[in-house]
Structure 1
Amino acid sequence: MVRRWSRRMQRMHNCDFQQVLQEMFAERWLSPKTQSSYTGPVSLFRRYVGQHVLPSEVSRRDVLNWRLAIVKSSSNPSGIAESSWNNYARHLKSLYRFGISHDLIQLQTSPFENMFLREKKRGRKTLRDMDIVFAREALELCRRYEVVKGEPAPMHPAWFWQVVVETFYHTGIRLNQLLSITPSDIHLKRRRLIASAEGAKNNYEAVLPITDALSPYLVTLMTSAQAAGCKRYDQLFNVNLFSVRTRRETMDVWQVERFFNQLSRYCGSRVTPHRFRHSLATDLMRSKGRDLYLTQQVCGHTDIRSTIEYIRPDLDTLRDYLEQRHSHKEQSLKDAVPGWNNQYLSSS
């Protein structure tokens, strides 16, 4: 009996990465998207240290060498950014902590402790006004082409992608939230839209207003989806219901990203769902009647600090602010020594 228990404990202390992952997924009941955020970094790390290496055999030096091999530097210009490394290290650190605390990894501390790098703080990537104008023009041209010619345009069906773009523009919801919307989440009479918790980053459901400008697009989508046989709890934003090119059951992230890659080529600059989100938050926080709490509700931020990051004045505001300081300072310098400026000019 003692030997059997000893062998079991030995096996528990020598779990491989996949076993630790499965134990953590089962206990924490993680969503498929969250699971993939762990499996990706683990797969990359195992590819570096070797598929046969167990978590308990990984040393701190192994992690340091991996970081040196993949992070962008003067000796590795094609490496990943510090933010990407921190994402890898964060997930692997969490995995190790779970494994150690549950006696699945025979270590005292995680080799990923204190392995984060200082990230370069860059501004949020937003869309220019011309990007939005070009996107709308390109989609409208495709829509007219399909009406006149009766055949698919390069971005097909154009009317559907118009609805997608306008929904991102007016609501700022995340891509996964858009993919989770069903007809039951749209209330046209009450003019509200429910962004479900399933697609939210923080697992919180958000109720958003439907603006006057967005309403006609959603009416068109709801009417077309009903005619195509979309049920109350089916995926609403599903290009496969209306496209003659695709026959999948549901629309996935890949299909949306493929469309936005096409749209970006027509616009001449990068257009993504998340840039619509950043643009909306930035515009709201730059407006004269900006309200921090209301912007937080629109964006669905649980932490107000996430909303505060969007409080950034534009260059014109900063320029006016500096010009104001300059004019006041120059006047005070002239007033400090009356007649000095004129004497200086005459002597030179």
Structure 2
Amino acid sequence: MNDVSFMELLSSYAADKHLRPKSVTTYSGVVRLFRKYLGHQTFPSMVTREMVIKWRVAIIRSEANPKGIAESSWNNYSRHLKALYSFGIKHDLIASIQNPFEGVSVKQPKTPKKSLQPLQIRYAREVLSVCRRFESCYDECSKIHPAWFWQALFETFFHTGIRLNQLLHIEAGDINLKKRIFRASAIGSKTHSETILPIPDDLYPYLYELIVAAHSAGFKRKDQLFNVNRFSQRHKRANMNTWQVEHFFQALSELTGYKMSPHRFRHFLGTSLMESPERNIHLTQSILNHTDIRTTMEYISPDVEAMRRALNARPPV
């Protein structure tokens, strides 16, 4: 039996599971936090369940530690480290037979998913339109530049609920305007699956404008389509990355006064589809690319007015 270090364990796990670079970064972050608490000289085999519980108490949010992490974050950390230990024990990489992260997750509060309101979306659209008119009239960069590009990205998130990483992997050749469909590749998919999604009528003009601009800029079929650097006077990277999208939403949030993000658009779409009278759970599951229908079911929220009518209908006593 070997007794590897945390980083050696992570390296072996990543190679065995063929983890994506983004997943490796996530695991590395969790391991780094745990090693910081334990001390960098600590080996995985030296960790006991009691040490894990003490770490949990030290970092999780409580009355004594109001700046700690949420229960959901702790459960995420413990899942990653439990998987590493299970792998290490199974393959005799750790001089231990007991997984110290077994049974250390906690119950987390059931709160509504963070979403958006229709008024907030309408206001954000108006802000983007003002930025676009400013750039057109004065030939200067607005705070959100180029506004027409960010409009297209905004509407794509709104109409499709696509995940950020998957949007960044859309290539110019993935858009078929004639058939009004686009391909969301498996490369950026959280579920590792490719999907073909329709282009809704209200999204079509924005994607049409983007495709025309991409053609004029000499895009090839394999080029990243949502790449602000190819259309901007301000951005100079080779490819658009997560940070640039997050920076756009941060700027938009500041201008509107509402917190906006790609994931909130995803939650808004899921909720809207499941609140529709003609809702179809399996269609919603396909649109959001969920592997487990229970995830889709989370978007079903109780109708407060229906509950009020039921309570009011009770016979008097």
TM range (shorter): over 0.9
1:15-164 alignment, distance < 5 Å: 15-164=4-153
Q: What is the distance in 2 between the residues matched to 1:92 and 1:321?
A: 42
Structure 1: which 5+ residue stretches go unaligned?
Answer: 1-8, 337-348
Q: Secondary structure at the match of 1:194?
A: strand
Q: Indicate the structure (1 or 2) with the bigger Cα radius of gyration.
A: 1
Aligned to 1:344: none
1:1-348 equivalence runs, <5 A: 13-313=2-302, 317-326=303-312, 328-329=313-314, 332-333=315-316
Q: Which amino acid aligns with 1:55?
A: P
Identity %, equivalent residues: 50
Structure 1 residue 324: Cα displacement? 5.0
SS in 2 for 1:15: coil
Counterpart AA for 2:10: L
C-alpha distance in 2 between matches for 1:321 and 1:42: 46
Q: Which amino acid aligns with 1:190?
A: K
Structure 1 runs of 4+ aligned residues shifted over 4 Å read none
Deviation string, structure 1 residues 162-220 (Cα, Å, up to 9, x no partner): 00000000001000010000011111101101111111111111111001111110011
User: Could you say what secondary structure the match of 1:78 adopts?
Assistant: coil
CA deviation string 1:20-64 (max 9, x = no partner) = 111111111111111112111000001110111111111222211
User: Structure 2: where are the runs of 5+ without partners?
Assistant: none
The one-letter code of the counterpart of 1:164 is: L
Deviation at 1:248?
Answer: 0.5
Q: Aligned pair count?
A: 317
Provide, for residues 73-110 of structure 1, a one-character-per-residue CA deviation record: whole Å limited to 9, x for no partner. Answer: 01101000000000000000000111111111110011
- Structure of greater relative contact order (alpha carbons < 8 Å, 6+ residues apart): 2
Q: Which amino acid aligns with 1:227?
A: S
Which amino acid in structure 1 is aligned with residue 57 of structure 2?
L
Partner of 2:112, secondary structure, is: coil
Alignment RMSD (CA, Å)? 1.2
CA distance in 2, matches of 1:211, 1:60: 52
Question: Higher helix proportion, which one?
Answer: 1
Hey, what's the Cα distance between the residues in 2 that align with 1:127 and 1:322? 24
Give TM-score scaled by structure 1 length. 0.89
Secondary structure class of the residue paired with 2:187: helix
* 1:281-323 deviation per Cα after TM superposition (whole angstroms, max 9, x unaligned): 100110111111111111111111111111114xxx4225423
Letter paired with 2:112:
G
Instruction: Measure, in 2, the Cα distance between the counterparts of 1:323 and 1:95.
Output: 51
